[in-house]
Structure 1
Amino acid sequence: MHGHHLMIRAAATTAKVVDAIEPGQLTAPTPCAEYDVRSLINHLLFWGPSLEAAAHKEALMPPAAAESDIDLTTGDCTADLADQLHRIADAWSDPAAWEGVTPLGGQDSPAPLIGGMILVEQVIHGWDLSRATGQHPTYDEDVLDYVHNETLTHAAFGREMGLYGPEIPVPSNAAQLDRALGLTGRNPQWTPA
């Protein structure tokens, strides 16, 4: 199944995770070691408008200040992020978004690469947030198949770019999501300390 068919399904599950985060959980650690829940939400809010614009072949650079210097988690940050996830998914559910090249991060890249990366990020960071906050979402099997295949295809590139950590071995008969997590350098058995 093509990624544009899966974006809305992936975003819907991740948005439910985000909506269920309690204010007292914002300082909880996540499997993504450099982020707690609040800073991971901030990261997703920081890049969200650029990812949405990329679906329309528009270049929208994030603010010039460093991500860590801008706190976008004011007010109801979980509602803000859930809305942003849905806008990104709506934009990338258009098959035309996946055609040709699109600008992101100051360069043009193949649109299917960017769309696939966004779908993977929605699921992987959704898992990060769910683990950090004690949730157990169920992603659609087609979404998980796509995420695993996309991660398998681009894991080496992700490590070169510093997006993924060293691969964590996961049994070949493990669930699709667990295998994708291992490819990104995450331990599928991670729990908060």
Structure 2
Amino acid sequence: MAVDFDLGPAADRMAGLLEAVPRDRLTAPTPCAHYALGDLIQHVDGLSLAFTAAATKAAPAPGTPQGPSGNAAALGDDWRTRIPVQLAALADAWRDPAAWEGTTRAGGVELPAAVAARVTLDELIVHGWDIARATGQPFDCGEPELRACLEFVSRFAPGPDGSPAPEGLFAPAVDVPADAPLLDRVIGLTGRDPAWTAA
């Protein structure tokens, strides 16, 4: 199967955001309502390992979360240098066409590998935006990435007749104008307010 998109730009962007996180901000709120900033960074730590294993079809490394992660106490002191290395390995793993073939596992769930790649892109873009907003950093994302992410998250938005979102991966969508920028539309569909700012 062909590689539909390169995760490198999203992984590099996330690494840059993490490297610039102020040391005194780990308890700050984020647009992801259940996570303080340190919790969210630990979630990124876990997903970088889990989705690398998903790409290689390998058993997750010992200690890799098998379900939702998000506990700043488990982050470790070397996160600022360690997670960017993991993100680079993640992007590299998904550059192999074999990563996109067949099925794989992530977070204890079996799913088509191509879907796992889209989940990975969504996680990197949406949580990258979360971290940028929580720390007052700019966030700029390319249109091809955003279109792939919008196509994915649109599957989980409530139906036009008001029917609930399938499998409820996200909080209820926030209404965003139809002509809003692509990033705002993605963010709104994941249950976040595109106008959210840190207090």
- Structure 1 length normalisation: TM-score? 0.88
- Alpha-carbon distance between aligned partners in 2 of 1:143 and 1:84, rounded to the nearest angstrom: 20
Once the 2 structures are TM-superposed, how far is the Cα of residue 64 of structure 1 from its aligned partner?
A: 7.3
Partner of 1:46: 46
Distance in 2 (CA, whole Å) between partners of 1:66 and 1:146 is: 23
Identity of aligned residues (%): 38
Which structure: greater helix fraction?
Answer: 1
**Secondary structure of residue in 2 paired with 1:165:** coil
- On the 8 A contact 2:150/2:186 being kept in 1, the answer is yes
The higher relative CO (CA closer than 8 Å, separation ≥ 6) is in: 1
State the one-letter code of the partner of 1:20: A
Which AA in structure 1 matches 2:57?
Answer: K
**What amino acid is the match of 1:114?**
A
Separation of aligned partners in 2, 1:32 and 1:121: 12
Deviates more, 1:85-94 or 1:62-71: 62-71
| Residue among 97, 108, 127 paired with 1:95 | 97
Residue 178 of structure 1 aligns with an amino acid whose one-letter code is: D
What's the TM-score once normalised by structure 2's chain length? Answer: 0.85
Question: What is the root-mean-square deviation in Å for CA atoms of aligned residues?
Answer: 2.5
Partner of residue 134 from structure 1, selected from 133, 136, 140: 136
Which blocks of at least 5 consecutive residues in structure 1 are unaligned?
Answer: none
Any idea what SS the aligned residue of 1:18 has?
helix
Distance in 2 between the 1:166 and 1:34 partners?
14
Q: In 2, Cα distance between the equivalents of 1:155 and 1:99?
A: 26
Q: Distance in 1 between matches of 2:25 and 2:71?
A: 21
> Offset at 1:66?
8.1
Shift, 1:141, TM fit: 1.7
Q: Distance in 1 between matches of 2:66 and 2:119?
A: 23
Shift of 1:18: 1.1
Show the 5 A alignment for 1:143-154. Answer: 143-154=145-156
CA displacement, residues 96-133 of structure 1 (integer Å, 9 cap, x when unaligned): 21111112233421111111000111000000000000
Q: Does 1:179 align with 2:181?
A: no
Count of residue correspondences: 192
3-state SS of 1:5 partner: coil
Q: Which amino acid aligns with 1:173?
A: D
CA contact (8 A) 2:41 2:70 kept: no
How much does 1:84 deviate?
Answer: 1.8
In structure 1, give the amino acid aligned to 2:36: D
Q: Which shows bigger deviation, 51-60 or 182-191?
A: 51-60
Evaluate the alpha carbon distance shift between residue 10 and residue 3 of structure 1 in structure 2; reply closer, same or farther with a 3 A threshold: farther
Partner residue in 1 for 2:16? 16
Equivalent pair of 1:21/1:133 in contact (CA under 8 Å): yes
